[in-house]
């Protein structure tokens, strides 16, 4: 059984905007997806959560220079292979 504290009040917007939708839009979406309005809200929140929230546990941050040197030493030496410290780095280290 759901307790009252586990529920929230939800109000549709009077017109569609970047911050909300009308009930008519929600009904159309629910119909297209084959779900009810409650499930539609859950789907939308799940989609937003996977896009916005980290999907992994936070680590201790960047590795130290000593750790990077150790990793670089352990990588087999191949011609034309570059070890990068950052996936977005344009310069090799």
The full set of domain ranges for the chain reads 9-52
Structure tokens at 83: 């070890």
Higher pLDDT, 28 or 54: 28
At residue 1, does pLDDT exceed 60?
no
Q: Does the pLDDT at position 53 exceed 80? A: yes
- Higher pLDDT residue, 25 or 78? 25
d(CA 85, CA 82): 10
**Is 41 in contact with 48 (CB distance < 8 Å)?**
no
pLDDT at 16 > cutoff 90: yes
Query: If you search the block for the tokens 């009308």, which residue do you land on?
Result: 22
Instruction: Look at residue 3 and tell me whether its pLDDT is greater than 80.
Output: no
Q: Which two tokens stand for residue 58?
A: 């936070």
| Selection from 37, 12, 34, 32 nearest residue 23 by Cα | 12
Query: pLDDT tens, 67-77?
Result: 988 988 887 77
């Amino acid at each position: 059984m759901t307790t009252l504290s586990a529920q929230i009040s939800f109000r549709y917007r009077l017109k569609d905007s970047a911050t909300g939708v009308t009930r008519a839009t929600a009904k159309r979406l629910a119909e297209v997806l084959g779900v009810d309005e409650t499930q539609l809200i859950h789907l939308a929140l799940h989609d937003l959560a996977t896009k916005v929230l980290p999907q992994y546990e936070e680590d201790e941050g960047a590795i130290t220079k000593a750790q990077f040197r150790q990793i670089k030493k352990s990588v087999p030496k191949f011609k034309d292979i570059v070890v990068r410290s950052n996936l977005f780095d344009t310069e090799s280290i």
